[in-house]
Chains A and B, each alone.
Chain A
Amino acid sequence: QVQLVESGGGVVQPGRSLRLSCAASGFTFSNYGMHWVRQAPGKGLEWVAVISYDATIKYYGDSVKGRFTISRDNSKNTLSLQLNSLREEDTAVYYCGKDYYLTSPAMHLCDYWGQGILVTVSS
């Protein structure tokens, strides 16, 4: 069965950096785009970034563009998100998600989600 397990969260001061990882199993990781979506405390879902199955396409939400970097290692079945210049408003649970479409540049929806990892940005 598909499993996505996030790690790397924690408490960090504003302006500092953090790196999140998502370990994938139960499917052919190299065939699917992957997403990061976050949810601030008491708020709705916010899309963060997506990377295509072959890492040739990357898109970012406006609030994180230029500060966050999405990447993947298909040899290790791992998705990553590098969070730089963190702000208090980046405090959220971060979810990784598997895209539904097989080897497609159309990365429109997630069919599986991880359990989420909390990032708290506070001085």
Chain B
Amino acid sequence: NFMLTQPHSVSASPGETVTISCTRSSGSIASTFVQWYQQRPGTSPRTVIFEDSRRPSGVPDRFSGSVDRSSNSASLTISELKTEDEADYSCQSYDNTNHWVFGGGTRLTVL
């Protein structure tokens, strides 16, 4: 099976843009879809990006997702940062037997 590696933490100021990476250890990042989940302290996960770059209804277009084959990684980009974006963000994908894999999560601090 493969692993998804995320930075432990990132920080930025309100109004800035931040990008969180998710690197796949083996196999192509493009071979399966990547999802991103937001989790504010004490709350359940919320899907903010699915199928690499699609946004659920209700998620602002400040959130975007992409995949880079050259680095074998997916990225979540949040622009025009707001204090309410402060949360843990986890990437997720799956293998060819439908077993899910989560990244370790990234704590976003909005200074």
| Interface positions of A (Cβ within 8 A of B) | 35, 37, 44-47, 50, 57, 59, 61, 95, 97, 100, 105-111, 113-116
Contact = CB atoms under 8 A, between A and B. Distances in A.
Contacts of B32: 108
Interface residues of B, number: 26
Contacts, number: 61
B63 interface: no
Summarize A's interface: helix, strand, loop or mixed: strand
B14 to A, nearest CB: 26
Contact of B44 (A61, A100, A113): A113
B105 A108 contact: no
Given A95-B45, A100-B50, A47 B98 contact: no
Contacts of A111: 47, 50, 56
